[in-house]
Amino acid sequence: MNLTELNRIATAMVVPGKGILAADESSGTIKKRFDAIGVASTEESRRAYREMLFRSKEAMSQYISGVILYDETIWQDAKDGTPLVKLIEQSGAIPGIKVDEGTQGLPMCPGELVTVGLDKLAERLKTYYERGARFAKWRAVIDIASGIPSMTAISVNAHALARYAALCQAAQIVPIVEPEVLMDGDHDIDRCYEVTSRVLNKTFQELRVQRVALEGMVLKPNMAVSGKKCAKQASVEEVAEKTIRLLRACVPAAVPGIAFLSGGQSDEAATAHLNAMHKLGPLPWGLTFSYGRALQAAPQKAWSGKAENVAAGQNAFSHRARMNGLASRGEWQSSLEQKAA
């Protein structure tokens, strides 16, 4: 393991002003999103859509540091025969790959899930590295509801995250460690804070046990937010203050950076929250975004599967990337959204 190189890549992934595009939707997830815009989800339509994003010169060169790909996408070529991985590299961004294989029910823990995909991961990482991937992602899912999460669910998912991270570093790939506490319930922000604290503490305990070099990883956590069904939604300022307090308490300064997931927040809310956190610095780690839907919803709608709409889709993508790039420096203002509307 070359830790110097891993640290270089991890640091580049969270460089100020740029963030990570999560374009790793499973075939099932992207079908739902294409259904919403009236586009049939085929291998060709998925390729065309992602090629549109990766050829967005302004967004990719100025605001995107890395792209998380799905297994199908990393092997696809653009219409002119150029591997999509090469399009990403040519823009100056770093290609990455989602390596978990989804979730399944956790035995003896009703309503809870465990992420799977460790079998033969070492072999898969080797082929992904040869294709050009320099970082990977594994997502653990922790739900909040009556009586859950259990310590069992937190422990087994943290253990799997750490095993995955160790395998990545052994393959000279930077692991994005993503323990996501879902925001789907009716819990308040304090309950989210408490559960996320437990999850992060257990995750870092397991990372140390598995001898993962913290200097060669990136953390992708949820923010401390109210559940979607909670009657009282926390303000932007409260989300920022409690999230930063949580991270300061749980995330070692050795970690080069933190790239938030959006987790179902609206486009503008995800941007506003990230921006507000940068008002609370200086921070011991880089702090940026690793958004999927919050970067892609607008370009998907503008594109709508039509070749004549590629430019409109790229403009929408560039706008959202720029807004989040500004937020990752604490320079975003809501008036910038209004001007673009």
Query: Beta partners for 177?
Result: 138, 219
178 is catalytic: yes
**Burial class of residue 130, CB neighbours in 10 A (0-12, 13-18, 19+):** exposed
Q: Which of 51, 112, 178, 206 is catalytic?
A: 178
Q: Got the DSSP string for 192-239?
A: HHHHHHHHHHHHHHHHHHTT--GGG-EE-PPP----TT-SSPPPHHHH
Question: Which secondary-structure segment (H or E) carries 124?
Answer: helix 121-131
CB atoms within 10 A of CB 337: 16
Q: Which of 18, 137, 220, 242 is catalytic?
A: 220
DSSP state of 163: H
Torsion over CA: 145, 292, 11, 164 (sign): positive
CA separation for the pair 174, 96 (Å, rounded)? 9
242 is catalytic: no
Phi-psi region of 3 (alpha: psi -120 to 50; beta: other; left: phi over 0): alpha
Decide: 78 and 341 in contact? Cβ < 8 Å.
no
Q: Using N-to-C axis directions, what is the helix angle for 293-303 and 310-327, rounded to 10°?
A: 160
Query: Beta partners for 142?
Result: 181
CA separation for the pair 263, 8 (Å, rounded)? 27
| Residue owning tokens 């909040």 | 144
Catalytic residues: 178, 220
